[in-house]
Amino acid sequence: MPRNNTTLIALDWGTSSLRAWLFDRNGDVLDTRATDMGILHLPEGGFPAALQTVTEGWVTASTPILACGMIGSRNGWREVPYLDCPVSVADIAQAIDRAADIAIVPGLRVGGAFSDVMRGEEAQVVGALAVRPSLADGAVMILPGTHSKWAHVSSGRIVSFRTYMTGELFAVLTRHSILGRLPSDCESPESARDEAFARGVLAAREPEASLSAHLFSTRSLVLNDRLEPGAARDYLSGLLIGDEVRSGTGLLATQRDASTVLIGEPALTARYAKAFTLLGHHAPETLGNTAAAGLLNLARAAGLLET
């Protein structure tokens, strides 16, 4: 690739992974790389070594580097303070930390009874606004993941958001609890897994039991031969995602004129869309991963790019 045509290196640097994009002067992606060198899985040499590895052959003396995510946390390369919501794209761009060769996007926080924080997802929200400018008028953006975010946007500003530990709960329960030790001789067919997921989503809306009681049903249903062991993880996934969507759609009821969009990787957003329909709601539009578009837009707004 022509090195003199590069204009930005963008990084989404999280806890367990590091993803990088190389942009040309037209704002098109020249190359993409992904590694497992998140802030908790750094190679020998730490952050500089990880950066050198993921950007090998990309960097020139004039190429700016902009990063978002846990790289800006107190456990990251250097801590960048949170911005208090509501914030605009311009507010985030102005607060980008440029104290060293790598610029870092600030995280966001909200106060109140549900005090909350995010790092990295703000870039995806900014990217969604770049891809769909009409969302600035009013939207609820759902970002599934380890820590799912439901972000409310109004008048071009991120007003508030709420975090659900859905992905992390699934990982912990399947790796470190009795639910991960269910007997399984073989994997169930896809049809059985889909049915188990739907069964879990629908079970999550039942008011007779709390989520913790529903979770144990993953084990009891298998032991009573009412759920195939190979589909137990899908049932558990349905319970957790169903519980999140049930709660989140309660928030949507207070934002009646807001559009709803799903942002993230196709396989996971497809499960959320299915949960919406199973619970009697319209499936939101899916935008894919918008982090790259968000980082490019922030770099432009911050004046990091050459004119």
Domains of the chain: 166-257+264-283 (3.30.420.310)
Note the pTM of the prediction, 2 decimals. Answer: 0.93
Residue 253 predicted with pLDDT over 80: no
Instruction: Give pLDDT, residue 2.
Output: 44
- Look at residue 63 and give its three-state secondary structure: coil
pLDDT of res. 4:
58
Residue 134 pLDDT: 95
| pLDDT per position as a tens digit, 108-125 | 999 888 899 999 999 999
Work out the burial of residue 112: count CB atoms within 10 Å of its CB; fewer than 13 is exposed, 13-18 middle, 19 or more buried: exposed
pLDDT at 184: 66
29-38, 73-82, 176-185, 265-274: range with lowest mean pLDDT: 176-185
Mean confidence (pLDDT) of the chain: 93
Tell me what pLDDT residue 1 has. Answer: 45
**Length of the chain in residues, anyone?**
307
What is the end-to-end Cα distance of the chain in Å, rounded? 21
